[in-house]
Amino acid sequence: MLTLVWFRRDLRLADNPALVAAARDGAVCPIYIHDPEAKDRQGGAGRWWLHHALAALDASLGRHGLALIIRRGPALETLRGVIHETGAEGVRWNRLYDPPLIRRDRHVKQALRDAGVDVHSHKADLLHEPWTVRTGQGSDYRVFTPFWRALRRLGEPEAPLAVPDLQGPLARPWSEPLGALGLLPRIPWDTGLREAWTPGEEAARRLDRFVTDALPRYHTDRDYPAIPGTSRLSPHLHFGEVSPRQVWAATTEADPEGPGTAAFRTEIGWREFAHHVLFHHPELPDEPLDRRFRGFPWRADPAGELLTAWRSGCTGFPIVDAGMRELRTTGWMHNRVRMVAGSLLVKNLRLPWQLGERWFRDNLVDADPASNALGWQWVAGCGADAAPYFRIFNPIRQGERFDPDGDYVARWVPELAALPPRQRHAPWEAAANVLARAGVRLDRDYPSPVVDLRESRQAALDAFARIKGD
């Protein structure tokens, strides 16, 4: 029996349930479909990663005597065509949980089954399906801690699956060249991404180094952006180059009871929670879950000057500007800095959180639809288990606390690197002679703050007061 394995965001051979099941049935024909109808919400950085991840997957398959078949077109029509060409009797894939993709996949599954094709989908992207974690009343969760407890009560995740023995089709179908998908930028802005990342399943083995070198201190180091204390696995998880079961198993083997493991597994839990919320609330990427915020009095920014300053890392708040420049250069930003940058946008600048969600979606290599939207609604105070709106991060204090020596700022805002560490987070407060010795001229070398923190904080609280009783 020949089975098509439809790869999507599961670009790996190990712990791939659809691939294992297909190999058990007989020959395997791996296929990737670039579906214009998918509405996958993938930004430019994500498309860059996808190109290189597909190349890496094809190379991995090649070492097993197979080749990745690439096609463009609507999923159902494309699968029907390949089934007709190859005589395949089955199709298998691993489930995704973005609402538009769920609708598409249900339609494809039913149509192919009606045509007599053996079709199955599998769980591979999460520890537990979003619909299996329910409250005592049978509803979905809106608060993380009880969700996490309920998920843990479902038991330990299954052990990861090994790479199966693979046999390809007798005749290899034609394939589009990868470059025909147009995933890479036409203007080469991706130099920083190429320097920072290596997509693919082999590169995802950074997991092994992380659990050895950084996991024991993760609970303390993860908040400091100048320290390599995080796993940087998020893009590999998003594109399925490593599975959450593999992550769980690796932490179990390394240090199952350690505080670093507990903190890191909680972050895996937040990823599960984000998909749970998106599954039950498909409007999450666009509409606030707290309906009061639909009438929030956002600030007018007719010329887009405030938004442009934030996007370009020129707000005058060094920790925020460092993060935004790191994002634009590498396609990634430290999570602590994401929260601080997001707070400045939605509270001090008082611009809609959806603008931040879209910018991150286009520039992050790990722009997961669920986690990105949940994170922005958390910062804005309008989502599931969100921070209270009146929790407004002070970027100066956050910088002083989590970048105490100013190393992170010095790296990404080099025009401030010659300042003493204490002045790097608020250069406008430095004495004139200190600025002169460092060669810093405010509003020429580095901008003054675009807003007054105290005044903008009060304006944000006043705006919230207008909706909180609705």
| Residue 439 CA, distance from chain mean position | 38
3-state secondary structure of 7: strand
Give phi and psi for 67, each to the nearest 5.
-135, 145
Q: Known catalytic residue: 267?
A: yes
Q: Token digits for 450? A: 């675009």
- Among the listed residues 176, 267, 287, 415, the single catalytic one is 267
Residues 6+ apart with CB under 8 A from 465: none
Decide if 353 is catalytic.
yes
Cβ distance 274 to 371 under 8 Å? yes
Active-site residue among 6, 353, 359, 378? 353
Residue listed under structure tokens 């394939």: 175
User: Angle between the 318-330 and 305-312 helix axes, to the nearest 10 degrees?
Assistant: 70
310 included as an active-site residue: no
Catalytic site includes residue 298: yes
Instruction: Please report, as a single letter, which amino acid is at residue 94.
Output: N
* The one catalytic residue among 77, 89, 176, 335: 335
Structure-token pair, residue 347:
């509270």
Helix ranges (H only) for 26-181 are 44-62, 75-86, 99-114, 144-153
| Distance separating alpha carbons of residues 157 and 468, to the nearest angstrom | 41
Within 8 A by CB and 6+ apart from 238, the residues are 9, 46, 365, 366, 367, 368
Active site residue 348: no
Q: In what order do the strands lie in the sheet with 90-94?
A: 69-72, 27-34, 2-7, 90-94, 118-122
SS3 290: coil
Q: Which is the catalytic residue, given 298, 400, 415, 428?
A: 298
How many other β-carbons are positioned within 10 Å of the β-carbon of residue 152?
A: 14
Handedness of CA 62, 64, 69, 74 (dihedral sign): negative
Q: Which of 148, 270, 310, 378 is catalytic?
A: 270
Query: Residues with catalytic annotation?
Result: 267, 270, 298, 335, 353, 376
